[in-house]
Chains A and B, each alone.
Chain A
Amino acid sequence: MLQILAQLIVSGISVGMIYAVIAFGYQLTFATSKTLNFGQGEALMLGSLVGWTVVAYTGYWLMLPVVLAFGLVQGAVVERLGVRQAIKTKSESGWIMATIALGIIFRNLAENIWGRDALKFPSPLPETPIALGGVRVLPMEIAIVVGAIAMMAAVELFNRRSIYGKAVVATANDRDAAGLMGINTGRVITFSYALSSLAAAFAGVLIAPVTSTGAAMGGALGLKAFAVAIIGGLSSGVGVVVGGVILGITENLTGYYISTGYKDVPGLVLLLLVLSFRPAGLFGRATIKKV
């Protein structure tokens, strides 16, 4: 009995970390520009499919830098085309439609290039599960957890230690003040979009060996990650990890102990509860919008 519980929790954590990495991308752009890339799921999908093409020539590890570079460019493109104008004109909703539209365009593009079927992504690690005291886990699932945490830590470290990172943090704290201090905040926002798509692209190739890849992979995951970002709070790095893990585990426990037909319900109930009682998220700082 305990063994089953442990298995459910372990599987829940690995799914939850997938949500967390994508949610992390939402958080990066929200911090600097108070806008989100609603095409985050599609950024993940594109990264994953580019990885799928490259991996055939280079193998898994050499493919990573290519995908990361692609993610940077893709994110910058989204910002230039979809968000910059909206920020400039202080449009409240222009960026929402623009990022959704870009997401749809990217998906259609991917359908034309890679087809519409789910594609098998070669796994860099053995595909035989490891048994840890009765709990069975795939090596790749461990890699997802480790990789996700490592990536988030790397971004955090970059923000805290490097001069460019400090510019990002300064813009996040107060865009106007940062601008007055000589920081090109427009460029910082572009950079944060690039970084968020990099995170998504990395997540894409990280999870693809387990979930398989394909033009349709972004939709459901992007939406779940959005819920995670809301639950955890859009301003907290720890928040998305905890939020992701909570959602992953709740889904599995509900699926097993209540009914697999209701697997998605508690996560959404949780989302509603958080929105009613802690609108800034479990770990978010409540900010008062001064008018």
Chain B
Amino acid sequence: MLRERQYTVKKLGRSYAASGGMLSLDQKKRGIRFMRLGKRHLLAVGTSIFALSMAAVPAQAADPIKIGLSGPFTGGSASMGVSMRDGVKLAVSEINKAGGVLGRPIALVERDEEAKNEVGVQVAQELINKEQVVATLGFINTGVALASQRFYEEAEIPVINNVATGSLITQQFKAPEYKSNYVFRTAANDLIQSEMIADEAVTRQGFKKIAILADSTNYGQLGRTDLEHALAKSDVKPVAEEKFNIGDTDMTSQLLRAKQAGADAVLTYAIGPELAQIANGMAKLGWKVPMIGSWTLAMSTFIDNAGVNGDGAMMPQTFIQLPNTPKRKAFIDAYQAAYKTDRIPSPVSAAQGYDSVYLLAAAINQAKSTDGPKIRAALENLQTKVEGVVTVYDHPYTATDHEAISANIPVFGLVKDGRVVPAHPEDVAGDQAMRIKPKA
């Protein structure tokens, strides 16, 4: 019994060191489980973990480069946060295996901001002041990103948003008010997404009577405004605009209003569980019109909870779990092997998270320094082509453009039998498979 326990401790300690000083959730769980074994041994266990993690330090050759990782790993956005984190960790372990950056390994400092603005702010301050990270990756929620970024801007530490989509994110610190902008992104922003959604509904599918259903969060309401503007460009005014709260389980009144207004398509800006209630509510009311919405319609919480009712829902995707390039195949295989899952919970988050690490690593290599302003300058003028999962990043950023994803990159995904597949196969066929941002 005791020997077994010691073995677990050693194993835990070893993987602790291997993961660069970061415990994964399931390692933590394992830790908790064996701690439950006996109070008497708690002290011994604690001491040995401490000793082992101390022992691990000299084992690492050079000082690791600390990179912050801020995302919601608990709460309603967790499936995106966890996929993003797993994508990031995958890239970091590949880079470390290949010798690291500037001959130094990358160490992730992972913090859960629970999708809460105030926690995000605390995390930002901790990562900057206490952990002294050289850059931070992450942010799923626009509100958290907007609240936290100010600290990075002040500290001149670059931050790459790899999932949050709010249009404002990269515009917060624009010249001339700010000397330089430290905020970058590897996600398709809401302007791009809302234009795509409006174009798909009105131009490609010919719907003229549109209902917008959006949740009451910043995400939903800012997205609704973007959708209105995008629709106005083709002279379409929504016949109904309905709102609901996070946690609402009954969408009868919202759907009946849209139905009575004669809507022939429903456009959505919300997250998984409530989107599922919309799809289920439509089935219950016997009203079936196409559902087209932001990329969150690809969340597993939508797909699983809506079941067959969610089939046919369409959303813009920067990445669909489809091995149509060698890089994508390698990524999908590695993800499946590392996390023992067939379906990536949020493929877009995982891919964008993965790519953000390689962009940052390329910038640090080019800057030959971990100095914030130098990394920013390198990102804005990246000389090496970075072959990512989403696209090939060829000069992805300039001093004024901090969006790596351009409007031509995302394609429409479609929910089919519990998976997201390309909505228009011709969009991803042949040389369309890899879509690259046009040169400025």
A: residues with CB less than 8 A from B are 4, 7-8, 11-12, 14-15, 18, 111-112, 115-120, 127, 129, 131, 136-138, 207, 210-212, 214, 216-217, 219-221, 251-256, 259-261, 263-264
Task: Give the chain A neighbours of B301 by CB distance below 8 A.
Answer: 117-118
B: residues with CB less than 8 A from A are 29, 32, 74-76, 78-79, 216, 242-250, 252-254, 256-257, 260, 272-273, 276-277, 283-286, 300-301, 304-305, 307, 345
Contact at A214–B273, with CB atoms within 8 Å? yes
Known pairs A112-B29, A129-B284, A136-B286; A212 contacts B305 (CB<8 A): yes
- Most B C-beta atoms less than 10 A away, residue of A118, A136, A219, A255: A118
CA distance A118 to B250 in the complex (A): 15
Contact at B307–A136, with CB atoms within 8 Å? no
Known pairs A112-B29, A210-B249, A212-B273; A4 contacts B260 (CB<8 A): yes
CA distance A15 to B251 in the complex (A): 11
**Shortest beta-carbon distance from B302 to chain A in Å:** 9
Contact at A8–B284, with CB atoms within 8 Å? no
Q: A117-B300, A136-B285, A252-B252 are in contact. List 12 more A-B contacts (CB 8 A).
A: A11-B250, A15-B250, A112-B29, A118-B276, A119-B305, A129-B286, A251-B253, A252-B253, A253-B253, A260-B242, A261-B243, A263-B244
Contact at B253–A263, with CB atoms within 8 Å? yes
CA distance A263 to B254 in the complex (A): 10
**Shortest beta-carbon distance from B88 to chain A in Å:** 18
Contact at B78–A115, with CB atoms within 8 Å? yes
Task: Give the chain B neighbours of A216 by CB distance below 8 A.
Answer: 75-76, 247
CA distance A77 to B230 in the complex (A): 55
Contact at A260–B253, with CB atoms within 8 Å? yes
Task: Give the chain B neighbours of A219 by CB distance below 8 A.
Answer: 247
Task: Give the chain B neighbours of A120 by CB distance below 8 A.
Answer: 304-305, 307
Known pairs A112-B29, A118-B273, A260-B242; A11 contacts B76 (CB<8 A): no
The chain B residue sitting closest to A211, CB to CB, is B249
Contact at A7–B76, with CB atoms within 8 Å? no
CA distance A288 to B250 in the complex (A): 39
Task: Give the chain A neighbours of B253 by CB distance below 8 A.
Answer: 8, 11, 251-256, 260, 263
Task: Give the chain A neighbours of B285 by CB distance below 8 A.
Answer: 7, 129, 136
CA distance A137 to B248 in the complex (A): 18
Contact at A7–B252, with CB atoms within 8 Å? yes
CA distance A136 to B254 in the complex (A): 15
CA distance A18 to B352 in the complex (A): 40
**For the complex of A and B, 4 pairs with smallest distance between CB atoms:** A255-B253, A220-B247, A11-B252, A256-B253
CA distance A256 to B254 in the complex (A): 7
The chain B residue sitting closest to A14, CB to CB, is B250
Task: Give the chain B neighbours of A217 by CB distance below 8 A.
Answer: 247
Contact at A261–B216, with CB atoms within 8 Å? yes
CA distance A216 to B345 in the complex (A): 18
The chain A residue sitting closest to B77, CB to CB, is A116
The chain A residue sitting closest to B304, CB to CB, is A120
Task: Give the chain B neighbours of A118 by CB distance below 8 A.
Answer: 76, 272-273, 276, 301, 304-305
